[in-house]
Structure formats: C-alpha cells, structure tokens
Amino acid sequence: MKRFFHQLGSPKHFYRIAGRWIPWLGLACVLFLLAGLYQGLVVAPTDYQQGDSYRIMFVHVPAAWMSLFIYVVMAAAGAIGLIWHMKLAEVVAIASAPIGASFTFLALVTGSIWGKPMWGAWWVWDARLTSELILLFLYLGVIALHNAVEDKRTAARATSILAIVGVVNIPIIHYSVEWWNTLHQGPTVTKFDAPSIDMRMLIPLLLMAVAFKLFYATVLLMRARVEVLERERNTRWVRELVSQS
C-alpha cells in the first residue's frame, strides 16, 4: 500500500494509473446516473405541495453538494501543495476548479428554475443563494488567476492561497439557512435524528449524489492527466510516451 501511494505521487505513474481508472469510473458514473434518473423521474412519488416541479431537486441538490465538496478538495490540495510542495496536489487543485465552477453554476441555474414556481421569482438575495454566488466567483477567480500567471509553480501557489482564504465561505453556505431568516428550506437529509424526506425520494437523491461524485472523479483524472503532460512535457517519460503514440 505504501508503495502504491508513493507511485501515485509520481507524475509518470499517476498518468498510467489514472488512465486505467477513468473507464471504470466513467462506466460507474453512467450506471448510477441512469439509476438515479429512473428512480427520481419514474419511481419517486409526486410531492403533495410542489407537484412534479420538485423533481429538479435530483439535479439541484447533488450539484450544490458537489460545489461545496470540490472547493474543500481544491483548498485541501492547495494546502498540501504549499506545505509539502507536491506537484500532483497542485494539479488536483487547479484541475478541480473548472469542474467545481460548473457544478456551482448548475446549482444556481436549477435553483432559479425551481425557485420561480415556489417563490414567484427567479432570484432573490437570499443568504444561501448569495453565498453560493460568491462561491462561483471564487472558482472563477482561481481559474483567472491561474491563467494570468505564466509560471505554473507560481500560479499554483497563488491560486492555493486564494482557495484556502475562500474556504471560509463553505460553512457560511452550509449554515446560512440556520443562521439567518431565509427563503431557502432548511436541511432535510443531513439531520442528526432522521431525514425528513420520503425514502422513495431519498434513494434517487443519494444515487444522483454518487453519480455526480463519480463524474467529478472521472473528469478530474482526465484533466489532471492533461495538466501533468503539460507540466512534464520536457521530461524523458513524456517524450517516450509521445514517440510511442
């Protein structure tokens, strides 16, 4: 196991191992996605208050969860890169940013679509919505800062610092519905006693959450492999790889 993680820290071995994982992760993502969509659109009952409009929840809620999860991963990877100067941690941090921004944008758009029939407005300056919008700006800031600095290592350090500073927004998003009077509904799945949601709705929600995590893992490895090749383009193993292709 120690040897495996040591190899995983090597760009050459990471590129090889990630290439093996991607097809299996992608296949698992498709299977969970199909199961989640079927359970959410066909099996789950109609909500007695919201009707069928609530079904967008099966995309909105997992996307919102992923927007927080990926930012924490990005900040943690950035901290590892700053402290231990691990190249692959820097790669994971910057490769995660566009994926996290996409999930955040998806959460905001689907939330607006869901909010229109429920609240009567596409957007309100609600605490949860506003803090989620700030999260999108943080993702875009990390991407812009990385693209603005030519040297990869300097860019990685700068974006890591920005990601770590911005992580303070994560608990604000999570607890905003408890700290402030907000239109956004409170927690239903993460209650300590029991989720206040029908099991036929909870199962597809969790299936979609797993599918989105598998999607993140798949795309992250794909983006990380490209980033590794770009950073290691002058090394011997990359030149050998190019000559074999």
List, for residues 84-109, the tens digit of each pLDDT value: 989 999 999 999 999 999 999 999 99
Q: Is residue 41 within 8 Å of 208, Cβ to Cβ?
A: no
Q: Which CATH number applies to 15-244?
A: 1.20.120
User: What is the distance between the alpha carbons of residues 176 and 173, in angstroms, rounded to a whole number?
Assistant: 5
pTM listed for this prediction:
0.91
CA count, 13 A, side-chain hemisphere, 45: 7
Span 34-51, pLDDT tens digits: 999 999 999 999 988 888
What mean pLDDT is predicted for residues 203-217? 97
* Beta-carbon count within 10 A of 198 CB: 11
Residue type, 223: R
User: What is the distance between the alpha carbons of residues 168 and 175, in angstroms, rounded to a whole number?
Assistant: 12
Span 137-155, pLDDT tens digits: 999 999 999 999 999 889 9
Residue 8 has pLDDT above 80, yes or no: no
| Of 232, 221, 212, 243, residue with least CA distance to 28 | 212
- Buried b / exposed e over 138-156, threshold 16 CB at 10 Å, is bbebbbebbeeeeebeebb
Residue 175 has pLDDT above 90, yes or no: no
Indicate the average pLDDT of the chain: 89
Q: Is residue 110 within 8 Å of 212, Cβ to Cβ?
A: no
Length of the chain counted residue by residue: 245
Sketch the domain layout of the chain as residue ranges: 15-244
> 7: Cβ–Cβ under 8 A, 6 or more apart, which residues?
13, 14, 17
Q: Is residue 188 within 8 Å of 64, Cβ to Cβ?
A: no
